[in-house]
């Protein structure tokens, strides 16, 4: 149990560091700065099912290059409606599938977004470990859950800057 708690604290700490160090106007840190507007939200799927191309909104940038939600994220994982994906980083390893998805979202309603993730967490049996403003970083809000050290997700939102990050980790 101590190992799981330590892992969660390390991940939350890493996320806080990324959020605190990231300048909202500086896109130079993104490996892929092409933006894509999600035109529809994902359909409600069974827990743990994998995504298919039919389940995802049409997501292409102005050049036609696809930038979309990875196939191995569970189909039923909710994403905020109207989000714009600005970068996807693959953090998978031999133990887990993992992605950090940077998003822009106009007029973020933190309560509405966190309610969506709270409901999803309860549905899949994850324990909520963080739900609210980060004390050490004003204006940054986090929602974090976990089931095991490799099954968790963290949502970080910065409403004033209209952006955030969705971290999804799923054990293999």
Per-residue pLDDT reduced to its tens digit, 37-67: 443 333 343 444 444 444 444 555 545 557 7
Question: Global pTM?
Answer: 0.68
pLDDT of residue 66: 74
The residue segments making up the domain with residue 131 are 2-31+83-171
User: Tell me: the pLDDT tens digits for 123-132?
Assistant: 999 999 999 9
User: Tell me: the pLDDT tens digits for 78-128?
Assistant: 999 999 999 999 999 999 999 999 999 999 999 999 999 999 999 999 999
Q: Rounded mean pLDDT of 4-29?
A: 44
In a domain, 45, yes or no: no
Which residues of the chain form beta strands (DSSP E)?
A: 36-37, 84-90, 96-104, 127-133, 141-148, 151-158, 163-171
In a domain, 36, yes or no: no
Would the pLDDT of 11 be above 90?
Answer: no
In a domain, 39, yes or no: no
- Residues with Cβ < 8 Å from 129, sequence gap 6 or more? 8, 12, 144, 145, 146
pLDDT of residue 97: 95
**What CA–CA distance (Å, rounded) separates 53 from 38?**
14
In a domain, 42, yes or no: no
Would the pLDDT of 164 be above 50?
Answer: yes
Report how many domains make up the chain: 1
In a domain, 151, yes or no: yes
Cβ atoms within 10 Å of 50's Cβ, excluding its own: 14
In a domain, 67, yes or no: no
**What CA–CA distance (Å, rounded) separates 35 from 33?**
6
pLDDT of residue 67: 77
SS3 assignment, position 67: coil
**What CA–CA distance (Å, rounded) separates 26 from 29?**
7
- Nearest CA to 117 out of 88, 146, 86, 97 is that of 146
**What CA–CA distance (Å, rounded) separates 77 from 42?**
8
In a domain, 153, yes or no: yes
Confidence of residue 24 (pLDDT cuts 50, 70, 90): very low
**The two structure tokens encoding residue 169:** 């980790």
User: Tell me: the pLDDT tens digits for 61-85?
Assistant: 545 557 789 999 999 999 999 999 9
SS3 assignment, position 152: strand
């Amino acid at each position: 149990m101590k190992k799981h708690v330590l892992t969660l604290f390390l991940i939350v700490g890493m996320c806080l560091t990324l959020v605190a160090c990231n300048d909202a106007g500086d896109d130079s840190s993104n490996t892929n700065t092409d933006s894509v507007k999600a035109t529809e939200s994902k359909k409600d799927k069974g827990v743990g099912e994998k995504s298919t191309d039919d389940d995802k909104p049409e997501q292409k940038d102005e050049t036609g290059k696809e930038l979309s939600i990875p196939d191995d994220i569970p189909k039923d994982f909710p994403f905020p409606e109207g989000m714009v994906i600005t970068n996807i980083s693959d953090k998978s390893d031999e133990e887990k599938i993992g992605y950090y998805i940077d998003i822009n979202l106009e007029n973020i309603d933190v309560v509405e977004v966190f309610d969506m993730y709270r409901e999803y967490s309860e549905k899949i049996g994850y324990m909520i470990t963080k739900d609210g403003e980060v004390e050490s970083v004003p204006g940054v809000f986090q929602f974090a859950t976990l089931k095991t050290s490799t099954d968790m997700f963290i949502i970080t939102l910065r409403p004033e800057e209209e952006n955030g990050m969705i971290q999804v980790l799923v054990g293999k």
